Structure 1
């Protein structure tokens, strides 16, 4: 990536995403939402949307703006759209959360913020999809990892469309016989497209390139990722299209979900095999901390697949749905994003600071911008807290869940400090820190 143009606002996306993550963890520690309230109640919806939109989607958008051009060897279609997209996503989420809080009775107010917030979010995601979609379109035929991203972009369109319809129903704007059925049958489709397609499938695709790059593993085989992509795309197509076309009966929807789940397990198995192959063929024998922690996140995904299949076989899937969703959102997605941010932010900082002076003066390595031994304890604490919190949800122990999430919050704060230190070059030895006129980068905005 030497010489690659930096997206000016990528670091801003990451910073705002981390703020949302800390807010979500804080309100869970305070006992807000599930498991203290109903899993489908307004308070739980507040947390779900903070995590899925504020934290995960914002971080994923920031990463895609930087790395999609790398995946396809094309410049980003319109970098000037990235800041308006961030503003729309942030404002839309704030308005939407106000609507959920009013719906939950936390203050007296109208419910119009729900459709307004959904509209702003849809506009923000439309800018994201158009920007990244045009970048991908210019690079056809797409390489393997980019095809995952293309499917993910289609899934966020589906997610936003269903979210907009839900907001009309919950606000009372849409009334009539079909709308309650939409809420009942559409929520699984909304979750499949959002968590499964947009977040997980996109993360899988980007991780192919990042893991190969950080482990120095060959990824030039065109077949790499193909079975995982085909099975995953089939799972999403069955789950979304089949869910929409299925009769509005539990049996019809259950059959669709069963078929989609089977295809998803095949996709995850193929993905796991590919990751193992990259690990075996790597040239970097000693794995860096970010890669080791990414493997722990993958372990959480494997646990979700095993526990989900076991719960479905025993008929207890519904009672354990909250624990499984939490493990997906935090053990898999949040763990993977934090692990990669620990490498991406120093990497982008190195490019911005030392790329221009490379060859004119000695420069540090990217690894010199971080202190892995100090950061490793925060990652261990984070994953341990997540797994304990999942276990507490599994056995319905709400106080234990809050204590475990408090541990996770402390670990997150520690990791945030490590990221800030990397951005400020605080761990770079003084002779190399600002050599040949290099300047400390701005904290939240990159120089192009």
Structure 2
């Protein structure tokens, strides 16, 4: 793959308010999810608080961020026109309303509300799947990133149906008379969500980003490692999910081996790109430098547990004690690092790109505050380390709580940095980005954008 692909078409991107709305809402869910986690640690959250916490972080933060990123970069990277900007706005509304009601129902132990709000979430995610699939259907061929994205939306389509069925099962048992039980379905749902939809998207995006923004190419051993991930990961995810669904130990074990091997292969590729980097370090690179060893460490620690009992509920996301290592240390740092480029990039293109050569304009990395970036990196890294160590060694609740507080502070600092970028550089106000045409203070639409596109 070329270091800088020649098919990037910024004129194909949707109006900036659409992806930015996804990213800002995702950050809101991240903060709420972490606060809920602190409340759970303090034994102050009733009902199914842990389940709400998981959905706020995975469906709310990571998946909504993925929705916004694909909506922005599938057209940009692929040179295709987004199928529908209206659907791109509708998908977010449906998921947000559905997830807020779903999480509230779990916390207040009013499970009857999981069905209607779960249906809204399902409709939102399927709207996203349809919109991206129709957008990519116009392409003649697919590169490695596009192939990963197609697989990811396929995983989204299946896992959301399973999630809705699980929501229904809370009040109207669906699996009582079947050969599979709820635990089996949960295992398949979680596998397709974390390793299917999320990790497949992360791998696909990084094949593009890790080469583009290190000014390197895949070469040498990368050419042998890439097939291990590109073929092994999706096959492994399917086998692991099916093995857990059918409680078939050998099938699940084979899937687990492939998922772990793919993680190790990809972490090596990412590490090599960072080592060979030809440009100056940015907050994005720093966070990728945490994610690469974090992913490898998760794979190495989880391998023995998955080989021994890949279908055991305690090994759902890897070995016991590795949840924070995977979700925060690997996936979380990739998402945060990528947002350090995506949000300033979108704003820079719309605000400054046309002024190049006419007046002095800032570079993309000049839009955020370097001191805040360093602070949130320190807080997030130290907090994640404490949470991981607390899980591994059963440390005191005080240490675990301290880790949670540090992560929360890191999120606040990171979110503040990104919101300052929006406030200081965006041609639109925060209200316009979040509310679109419903913003009561809405003024004239910038040139090149139509109000109907929101």
- Name the TM-score class by shorter chain: 0.7 to 0.9
Note the C-alpha offset of 1:312: 4.3
SS of residue matched to 2:213: helix
Once the two structures are superposed, the pairs formed by residues 5-404 of structure 1 within 5 Å of their partners are 5-8=12-15, 9-31=18-40, 42-103=48-109, 109=110, 111-172=111-172, 174=174, 176-178=176-178, 181-218=180-217, 225-244=226-245, 246=246, 249=247, 252=248, 254-284=249-279, 286-312=280-306, 318=314, 321=319, 323-396=321-394, 397-404=396-403
The question of whether the paired residues in 2 share the 8 Å contact of 1:382 and 1:411 is answered with: yes
The question of whether the paired residues in 1 share the 8 Å contact of 2:45 and 2:107 is answered with: no
Note the C-alpha offset of 1:139: 1.1
Note the C-alpha offset of 1:135: 1.5
Query: Whole-Å Cα distance in 2 between the matches of residues 140 and 186 of structure 1?
Result: 36
Deviations 1:375-418 (A, max 9, x none): 11211220110121111122233332122101111111111111
Query: Whole-Å Cα distance in 2 between the matches of residues 202 and 166 of structure 1?
Result: 24
Query: Whole-Å Cα distance in 2 between the matches of residues 391 and 207 of structure 1?
Result: 27
Once the two structures are superposed, the pairs formed by residues 388-427 of structure 1 within 5 Å of their partners are 388-396=386-394, 397-425=396-424
Query: Whole-Å Cα distance in 2 between the matches of residues 305 and 341 of structure 1?
Result: 25
Note the C-alpha offset of 1:132: 0.7
The question of whether the paired residues in 1 share the 8 Å contact of 2:239 and 2:251 is answered with: yes
Aligned residues: 419
SS of residue matched to 1:4: helix
C-alpha spacing 1:219/1:131, structure 2 compared with 1 (3 Å): farther
Deviations 1:131-163 (A, max 9, x none): 111112211321111111111111111211111
The question of whether the paired residues in 2 share the 8 Å contact of 1:22 and 1:409 is answered with: yes
Note the C-alpha offset of 1:183: 0.6
Deviations 1:233-254 (A, max 9, x none): 110221234444x3xx5xx2x3
Note the C-alpha offset of 1:195: 0.3
C-alpha spacing 1:219/1:360, structure 2 compared with 1 (3 Å): farther
The question of whether the paired residues in 1 share the 8 Å contact of 2:240 and 2:252 is answered with: yes
With the length of structure 1 as denominator, give the TM-score of the two structures.
0.86
Q: Which runs of 5+ in 1 are unaligned?
A: 104-108, 427-438
Note the C-alpha offset of 1:294: 1.4
Question: Which has the higher relative contact order, 1 or 2, with Cα contacts under 8 A spaced 6 or more apart?
Answer: 1
C-alpha spacing 1:322/1:11, structure 2 compared with 1 (3 Å): farther
C-alpha spacing 1:51/1:359, structure 2 compared with 1 (3 Å): same
Q: Which runs of 5+ in 2 are unaligned?
A: 1-7, 437-445, 450-454
Deviations 1:350-396 (A, max 9, x none): 11110122232222211221232441121122011012111112223
Query: Whole-Å Cα distance in 1 between the matches of residues 410 and 380 of structure 2?
Result: 5
C-alpha spacing 1:283/1:93, structure 2 compared with 1 (3 Å): same
C-alpha spacing 1:100/1:356, structure 2 compared with 1 (3 Å): same
Match of 1:436 in 2: none
Query: Whole-Å Cα distance in 2 between the matches of residues 54 and 354 of structure 1?
Result: 31
CA-atom RMSD in angstroms:
2.8
Note the C-alpha offset of 1:321: 4.8
Q: Does 1:442 align with 2:429?
A: yes
Deviations 1:322-367 (A, max 9, x none): 5322222222222111111112111111111101222322222112
SS of residue matched to 1:402: helix
Query: Whole-Å Cα distance in 1 between the matches of residues 340 and 275 of structure 2?
Result: 23
Query: Whole-Å Cα distance in 2 between the matches of residues 144 and 150 of structure 1?
Result: 10
SS of residue matched to 2:424: coil
C-alpha spacing 1:77/1:191, structure 2 compared with 1 (3 Å): same
C-alpha spacing 1:196/1:154, structure 2 compared with 1 (3 Å): same
The question of whether the paired residues in 1 share the 8 Å contact of 2:271 and 2:289 is answered with: no
